[in-house]
Amino acid sequence: MITVEVVYALPKEQTLLSFNAEEGIRVKDAIIQSGILEQYPELDLEKMDVGIFGKRTAMKIPLRDKDRVEIYRPLLADPKEIRKRRAAEGKRMGKGGGAMTKNKKKD
């Protein structure tokens, strides 16, 4: 037997389920066995992205003792768009990238 964890995080709620499983259990079977699909019926086993310790993986990959299966959800906002928006706001406010001014000494 091995110990595995299945985790799923929402903005205001995180769920971590730890359980013992048969050696050689695959990611997909661990998700099913964990019971997380009953807790979150909106999860679609066929469409979800998953990883092991932050690295994306396939559902067919066998797990090792103490592996953590992470269920990923779609991002609410595209990080590239957020950076572009912040950069544009900075230009409007005169922040960053402008001409540098030197401090003048008062006599």
Give residue 55's Cα distance to chain centre.
10
Write out the chain's pLDDT in tens, 107 residues: 999 999 999 888 999 999 999 999 999 999 999 999 999 999 999 999 999 999 999 999 999 999 999 999 876 667 777 788 788 777 666 655 555 555 555 55
Task: Establish if 107 belongs to a structural domain.
Answer: no
Give domain status of residue 33, yes or no.
yes
Three-state secondary structure string covering 39-92:
HCCCCCCCCCEEEECCEEECCCCECCCCCEEEEECCCCCCHHHHHHHHHHHHHH
The pTM (predicted TM-score) of the whole model is 0.69
User: Which residues face 68 on adjacent strands?
Assistant: 5
User: Is there a domain that residue 64 lies in?
Assistant: yes
Tally of domains within the chain: 1
For residue 68, what are the domain limits? 2-72
* Domain presence at residue 45: yes
Residue 89 lies in a domain: no
Residues 69 and 52: their CA atoms lie apart, in Å, by 5
pLDDT at residue number 102: 54
Determine contact, residues 26/6, Cβ cutoff 8 Å: no
The enclosing domain of 57 has a CATH number of 3.10.20.280
